[in-house]
Structure 1
Amino acid sequence: MLRSGIKGAWRVAQTTSVLAKTGVGWLRGDRPPTPQLLRETFEDLGATYIKLGQFIASSPTLFPEEYVEEFQACLDQTEALPFSYIESVLKKELKQPLSDIYAEIDPNALASASIAQVHAAKLVTGEDVVIKVQKPGVEHVIHTDMNFIHLAMKILEMITPHLEMASLADIVGEIQKSMMEECDFLKEAQNIEEFERFLARTDNTLVVVPKVYHQASTSRVLTMERLYGVSMTNLDAIKQYSENPEMTLRIAMNTWFASLHQCEIFHADVHAGNLMVLTDGRVGFIDFGIVGRLTPGTWDAMNDFGEALISGDYETMADAMVTVGITKQKVDTHKLSRDLEKFIKRVDGLQSVSYLDITETENDINKLLTEFVKMAKRHGIQFPRQFGLLIKQLLYFDRYRHVMAIDLVAEDYLAFLQ
């Protein structure tokens, strides 16, 4: 208890030091635009605030455009810790000699982010796996920092008087829930296995998720099957493993759309790094740290919106947006439908390319989502975050459709919903 208290006090001191440094710089005349200043401060503050920045970047339904755009640069990529630190976490969490579980572990990280680091390994039973390991001390930092999130929101409100969003309490609750779920690897394991059960119920053998090895997993360690494949945006590479790339994308879309109403969760981050075409031609969904859950009302509105989107019925799309959104005024759905038509035609006019950089794609998608939300706000509609997550995934799939030059029609979409 004392140790935890000391660590918390030290973290408070670190946070105060960073904020003081920012304040001194501002007084000395180093005064970048407020969104940039806030983003740079968040990056200096570390793991929790980087996650908060990413939450802002992915939530144009909650935050102003200038903040959403600025926080696109809040990258969650950090230098890898020496393997000795990761090894200490593994030994502490798994409570047995690592040689009893792993035949080998690559000391060089496959990836390193603010909260976790990923290493390739092989089990003693011969399976290739990846190990996602929470970095030492992160849980103490997050626990302490959550108290500062309330303050951060109040500062954001103070420096942005016309901030258009839901109540601060709701936003802080959403942030806390999102961050805590992403930091609990047992929760991520549950998400993976819930999606796996959905695949089994629907007799879907063309899509896979990584197998979780529970004997080597805890809330801070997640050992999963290693899937080998290529990004969904690399058409040339896809052709090496799939005889029909168009059908491969249809399978991915079919599965994702079906999960909206046949699974307790849906994958809420289907960017190119998380959606793979495997070497055996199947589709792999990976990284279930960010998932969404739909209420029946949101699903019904999403269903109407999707059908209308494919058939070009912009009036029905407008009605669905009004149904799912929060409005304080009467919405002119006829005007909204005209704006929707312009937006959709602009999205459809995007140039098709054979390969897109993951970061470039992410930035493009976030810009489109921000534009969509701005359009809704002009008509007095504010969306709940879950609907924003849904629209973002639709934009990802639309990008993949452009990459593969696939022309979907209404019948295709309706088939996805069966």
Structure 2
Amino acid sequence: MFLTHTVPRQREIIEVVFRNGWDYMRGLLTGGKTDEPQLPTPAVLKNILVDLGPVYVKLGQLLSTRPDLLSAAYIEELSSLQDEVPAVPWSEIEVIIRKQLKNPLEETFRMVNHLPVAAGSIAQTHRAILADGREVALKVQRPGIDITIAQDIALIQGIADLVARTDFGQTYEIKSVAEEFTKALEAELDFTREAGYTDQLRRNLSQSPWYDPTQIVVAEIDWSLTTQKLLVMEWLDGVPLLDADLSVGDSDTEQDLISKRTAITSLLFRAFFQQLYIDGFFHADPHPGNLFYLADGRVALLDCGMVGRLDPRTQQILTELLLAIVDIDAQRCAQLTLQLSDSAQPVILARLENDYDRMLRQYYNASLTDINFSQVIYEILQVARNNKIRLPSNMGLYAKTLANLEGVARNFNPNINLFDEIKPLITDLFRRQLLGDAPVRSLLRTALDIKRLSLQSPRQIELLLNRVTSETLQWNLSLKGLDGLRRTMDDAANRLSFSILVGSLIMGAAMISSQAQTSQLSFVSSILFAAASLLGLWLIISILRSGRLK
């Protein structure tokens, strides 16, 4: 039981839950009788996570990437959680750095700024200069955070075990969700993973047919100094994109500034569409603080610790889903959602199509330039959730990435026309799916397939005709899901036969009884009546026990 391990952290969690008034969890933690699980209001849930500390703030941020589990109100509230905590004193950070370095700190760095430029729940970042003069950023893990996360992970899994006993927990597979979150938290403790993600994003974005790769920057990793608890990367001098001053001088007109903003938003959309629909590996946290405008006019992607992956099949389905949204095609949206689903539960297709039709109907008369595509994606995920369709977790990251990107674009450039940005990219995506990156090679491969088919077809047709004429053709059919129907038909046939037998006994007994001249015939008639009565009674009892009298 969850409360048998009375450690201070557990008592603290219980106090926070009680103080914020989450009645359902209060009953669950005290072992009382609970009704159907109920989440606290979005504001209360946010307050609970903040009161529990940095690790649970991180958990709230991960939950904000799951619109397939939570409604839009929760996603919006949890998205506002800020991963900001008081900085750890330099004396403690210095101990961590020295333990991670192979050489003395004084020989490795010419200078390290003791004041952090940012402090989060997992790490804090300092600016430094290497011995060779290069400026770098040092991301240093907070002392003892691995122990705290291990304790909190055990508690999260304990609560998940309790909730998993309910219908709610089984429907949404709470244990697997908790396992997914704990793996994400554990992964953040290994900075070599983030370094690997950063390198892969930089390689992927270094070439593109959609934008100028020299205008997108991802920090270069110094692998000679990077460890699980210390990440050393190139220092990028800039400001958050929304705080950028694009004016070069007094000569810049309003139209010049609009053109610059349009070029930057177009660059971001094209870079992220390439990550999502071509590379299948994307930066999953493009909030305003992670998009920097550098002093030289380029745009940088920071903090690559949270990434998402999409396999080619999912990429193709999502591309078609974008087109279905543009066409306001509810039936196609339903079909594509089922293709994405990893749930084995039966779904009423007509109901799903009606829900999508009702959702998309509000956009019938709307201008495509005014449609909020990320909001539509959120609504599609919510319809799937209402129909108990469980989508892969990467769909949450996908939707959250689009929402963050669209939010930054609209704030940075209110004049942006999203449809004009997306339309040529969708067209090119469909061309790539049809022809691939090398159209000539694809056409040649198709021609070879057609040639092979044309050579083999006459021989296959001749073989088929020979088998038909020689009566050696056999069909092997396997129909699934008929076992239950077969058993039902067998039961019905047996009962019908049994009923005919009972009726025959009764009729025989009646005929013998009406014409009985001796005591022996009367005795036979009585035995037949008794046998028919017993068999008929047994038949009625079996029908009643089966529960199928109606």
CA distance in 2 between partners of 1:320 and 1:184 (Å): 36
CA distance in 2 between partners of 1:157 and 1:370 (Å): 26
Query: Which residue number in structure 1 is paired with residue 178 of structure 2?
Result: 172
Cα–Cα, structure 1 residues 341 and 309, in superposed 2: closer, same or farther, change >3 Å? same
Query: Which residue number in structure 1 is paired with residue 297 of structure 2?
Result: 281
Superimposed CA distance per residue, residues 45-67 of structure 1 (whole angstroms, 9 cap, x where no aligned partner): 43432322222233221246665
> Do structure 1's residue 328 and structure 2's residue 346 form an aligned pair?
yes
CA distance in 1 between partners of 2:390 and 2:280 (Å): 25
Q: TM-score, normalised by structure 1?
A: 0.80
Larger Rg: 2
Q: 1:402 aligns with which of 397, 401, 410?
A: 410
Q: Give the deviation of 1:350 after TM superposition.
A: 8.5
Q: Give the deviation of 1:182 after TM superposition.
A: 2.0
| Deviating more after overlay: 187-196 vs 245-254 | 245-254
Would the aligned equivalents of 1:317 and 1:337 in 2 still touch at CA under 8 Å?
Answer: no
CA distance in 2 between partners of 1:343 and 1:383 (Å): 24
Higher RCO, 1 vs 2 (CA within 8 Å, ≥6 residues apart): 1
Q: SS of the residue aligned with 1:237? A: coil
Query: Which residue number in structure 2 is paired with residue 211 of structure 1?
Result: 220
The one-letter amino acid paired with 1:188 is: E
Cα–Cα, structure 1 residues 165 and 230, in superposed 2: closer, same or farther, change >3 Å? farther
Query: Which residue number in structure 1 is paired with residue 34 of structure 2?
Result: none
Identity of matched residues, %: 26
* Structure 2: runs of 5+ lacking an equivalent: 27-38, 249-255, 433-550
Would the aligned equivalents of 1:254 and 1:416 in 2 still touch at CA under 8 Å?
Answer: no
> Do structure 1's residue 85 and structure 2's residue 92 form an aligned pair?
yes
Q: SS of the residue aligned with 1:244? A: helix
Q: Give the deviation of 1:186 after TM superposition.
A: 0.3
> Do structure 1's residue 143 and structure 2's residue 143 form an aligned pair?
no
Q: Give the deviation of 1:162 after TM superposition.
A: 4.3
Query: Which residue number in structure 2 is paired with residue 342 of structure 1?
Result: 362
Q: Give the deviation of 1:191 after TM superposition.
A: 0.3
User: What does 1:15-26 align with in structure 2 at a 5 Å threshold?
Assistant: 15-22=9-16, 25=19
Would the aligned equivalents of 1:47 and 1:138 in 2 still touch at CA under 8 Å?
Answer: no
Cα–Cα, structure 1 residues 385 and 20, in superposed 2: closer, same or farther, change >3 Å? closer
Q: Give the deviation of 1:42 after TM superposition.
A: 3.9
Would the aligned equivalents of 2:113 and 2:126 in 1 still touch at CA under 8 Å?
Answer: yes
> Do structure 1's residue 377 and structure 2's residue 389 form an aligned pair?
no
Query: Which residue number in structure 1 is paired with residue 83 of structure 2?
Result: 76
The one-letter amino acid paired with 2:120 is: A
Would the aligned equivalents of 1:230 and 1:238 in 2 still touch at CA under 8 Å?
Answer: no
The one-letter amino acid paired with 2:140 is: V
Q: Give the deviation of 1:80 after TM superposition.
A: 0.7
User: What does 1:34-73 align with in structure 2 at a 5 Å threshold?
Assistant: 34=40, 39-63=46-70, 68=75, 71-72=78-79
Q: SS of the residue aligned with 1:109? A: coil
Would the aligned equivalents of 1:318 and 1:340 in 2 still touch at CA under 8 Å?
Answer: no
Would the aligned equivalents of 1:231 and 1:276 in 2 still touch at CA under 8 Å?
Answer: yes
Q: Give the deviation of 1:23 after TM superposition.
A: 6.8
Query: Which residue number in structure 1 is paired with residue 261 of structure 2?
Result: 245
CA distance in 1 between partners of 2:123 and 2:169 (Å): 32
| Deviating more after overlay: 256-265 vs 284-293 | 256-265
The one-letter amino acid paired with 1:340 is: L
Q: TM-score, normalised by structure 2?
A: 0.62
Would the aligned equivalents of 2:122 and 2:141 in 1 still touch at CA under 8 Å?
Answer: yes
Would the aligned equivalents of 1:64 and 1:164 in 2 still touch at CA under 8 Å?
Answer: no
| Deviating more after overlay: 403-412 vs 204-213 | 403-412
Superimposed CA distance per residue, residues 210-253 of structure 1 (whole angstroms, 9 cap, x where no aligned partner): 0111222111111111212343445x624559863212222222
Cα–Cα, structure 1 residues 239 and 384, in superposed 2: closer, same or farther, change >3 Å? farther
Query: Which residue number in structure 2 is paired with residue 299 of structure 1?
Result: 315
Q: SS of the residue aligned with 1:100? A: helix
Q: Give the deviation of 1:68 after TM superposition.
A: 4.5
Q: Give the deviation of 1:188 after TM superposition.
A: 0.3
Would the aligned equivalents of 2:287 and 2:408 in 1 still touch at CA under 8 Å?
Answer: no
CA distance in 1 between partners of 2:361 and 2:386 (Å): 15
Q: SS of the residue aligned with 2:201? A: helix
CA distance in 2 between partners of 1:311 and 1:281 (Å): 37
CA distance in 2 between partners of 1:157 and 1:73 (Å): 28
Query: Which residue number in structure 2 is paired with residue 197 of structure 1?
Result: 203
Q: Give the deviation of 1:187 after TM superposition.
A: 0.1
Would the aligned equivalents of 1:258 and 1:416 in 2 still touch at CA under 8 Å?
Answer: no
Query: Which residue number in structure 2 is paired with residue 128 of structure 1?
Result: 135
Q: Give the deviation of 1:331 after TM superposition.
A: 3.0
| Deviating more after overlay: 303-312 vs 177-186 | 303-312
Cα–Cα, structure 1 residues 76 and 101, in superposed 2: closer, same or farther, change >3 Å? same
Q: Give the deviation of 1:163 after TM superposition.
A: 6.0
Would the aligned equivalents of 2:116 and 2:125 in 1 still touch at CA under 8 Å?
Answer: yes
Q: Give the deviation of 1:322 after TM superposition.
A: 3.4
Q: SS of the residue aligned with 1:398? A: helix
Q: SS of the residue aligned with 2:66? A: coil
What RMSD over aligned residues (CA atoms) do the two structures have, in Å?
Answer: 3.6
Cα–Cα, structure 1 residues 319 and 397, in superposed 2: closer, same or farther, change >3 Å? farther
Q: Give the deviation of 1:396 after TM superposition.
A: 2.6
